[in-house]
Amino acid sequence: MQMKGLFNNGHTTFSIEIFPPKKPGTIEDVYTTLDGLSNINPSFISCTYGAGGNSGDATTIDICSIIKEKYGILPIAHLTCVGNTKETIDEAIRKLDEASITNVLALRGDISERAGLSEDFKHASDLIVYLKEKAPQLNISAACYPEVHPDSESVVSDILYMKQKEECGAEHFMSQLFFDNEDFYSFWEKTQIAGIKSPIEAGIMPVTSKAGILRMVSMCGASIPKKLSRILNKYENNPQAFSDACIAYAIDQISDLVANDVDGIHLYSMNKPEAAQRIYNAVKNLL
């Protein structure tokens, strides 16, 4: 199914992201996560790329096959430039075909000392072009950044690069996490001025720990508004209150976004189905 077919139907699309199990986790952890999310019945579940992860567990494509076959939910497999060459992407295409998976999210990925870029793919747009040439049956999604990608020279260059990804074949965008909806609205307005037509989902991440989110925003360039900062500081030593307050913050974000007719909500579940279920239950009648 083409991703764009999930949008423009008078409703806000609701989707979820999970990641492959990390060491010392097992494939059973994936089933536990998916069992908890299946009651939500999201429009799709995306699975992050597991390169360099727990090699004893299922790969991203294997997990997407489980999502599709066992749970009957549309999967999207992440593919990155980092850690891949044309040969490894060719193998990924073969596995996608075998599993009848036709939706992928093409990303540059996070560069590290352990996993860097090959000469074949320097940018997500390079990967998108290659996928369209080698596997035209694939429906390609891409990432976007309401607060600008950390490596971008400017807001303008970031939006223009997003437009380039669309022109290369991306037909749907998922945004990086953000915590101030005004940042997303300002970004969305710029995409419309640039002539970007593809649906854009707002990426929402419920905060699960103060240290974790501070580390995350330092990597992706997102900011923490004062309202959320007060929550993190006030409840950091009270786990239940911290969880309740942060879930309430995510619900408030989503309620406002839906009221403003965003194309979709992409919930970064962090493999915590209980929190995702609480959030969905609070907003499902709004979608």
Q: Point out the residues that are catalytic.
A: 17
Tokens representing 7 are 């949008």
Measured at the alpha carbon of residue 21, what is the angle toward residues 20 and 24, in degrees to the nearest 5? 155
Backbone angles phi, psi at 40, to 5 degrees: -75, -30
Place of tokens 């999310």: 37
The number of angstroms, rounded, from the C-alpha of 35 to the middle of its chain's C-alpha atoms is 20
Place of tokens 């307050």: 245
Tokens representing 1 are 């199914």
**How many residues are recorded in the chain?**
287
260: Cβ contacts below 8 Å, ≥ 6 apart: 181, 185
Q: 110 with 150: CB under 8 angstroms?
A: no
Query: CA-CA distance, 131 to 241, in Å (whole number)?
Result: 45
Backbone angles phi, psi at 144, to 5 degrees: -145, 165
